[in-house]
Amino acid sequence: MFRSMRDAKAGARLSFTFDGRPLTGREGDTVTASLLANGVTACRETPVSGVPRAPYCLMGVCFDCLIVIDGIGNRQGCLVPLREGMRIETQHGRRQPEEMRG
């Protein structure tokens, strides 16, 4: 879990949802940074054993920050800037065939 440091420059606030919960983040932050700042500890469950996983490297290398953004899965949250109204969801394991058809 993370928190903002003192004296950080305030930016414009953007609204987004995480698993349906309304949250706000700073404009200019990535999706992952916004979730960390909101105290979100895990962003996905692994496809192999289903255990919770959180962002690890924040530089596009580890792919542990994979998340569903506006209905599209496997996005690297640490590389995607937060946008107003984004619908962000936990990525649950591997994709199921019924999700593909939708």
Partner 1 sequence: MKAVTAIDQLAESYDLVVVGAGPAGLSAAARAAELGVGVLLVDENPAPGGQIYRAVTTTPVSDRDVLGADYWRGAEIVARFERSQASYAGSCTLWSIGPDAAVPEGGGFEIGLSLDGRARLIGARQLILATGAQERPFPIPGWTLPGVMTAGAAQIALKSAAIVPAGRTVIAGCGPLLYLLAGQLAAAGAEIVAVLDTTPRSNWLKAAAALPDFLRSPYLAKGLKLMAKARRSLRFVGGVTGLAAEGADKLATVQVERGGSVETIACDTLLLHQGVIPSVNLSNAAGCTHDFDTVQHCWVPRLDDWLSSSEPGIAIAGDGAGIGGAESAALRGEVAALGAAHRLGRLDASERDRAAAPLRAELARALRGRRFLDLLYKPAPQFLAPRRDETIICRCEEVTAGQVRDTAVRLGVTGPNQMKAFLRCGMGPCQGRLCGPTVVELIAEANGTTPAEVGYYRLRPPVKPITLAELAALPQSEAAVKAVVR
Enumerate binding residues for partner 1 (CB under 8 A).
1-11, 26, 28-30, 33-34, 36-37, 39, 41-42, 46, 48-49, 51-64, 66, 72, 74, 79, 81
To partner 1, the closest distance from the beta carbon of 66 in angstroms equals 7
Whether the Cβ atoms of residue 96 and residue 45 lie closer than 8 Å to each other: no
C-beta of 39 vs 84, nearer to partner 1: 39
Cα angle 18, 21, 26; round to 5: 60
C-beta of 7 vs 98, nearer to partner 1: 7
Strands 21-26 and 91-92: unpaired
C-beta of 46 vs 89, nearer to partner 1: 46
To partner 1, the closest distance from the beta carbon of 20 in angstroms equals 20
| Edge-to-edge order in the sheet of strand 86-89 | 21-26, 13-18, 86-89, 66-69, 72-76
To partner 1, the closest distance from the beta carbon of 48 in angstroms equals 4
Torsion of CA 64, 43, 47, 80, to 10 degrees: -60
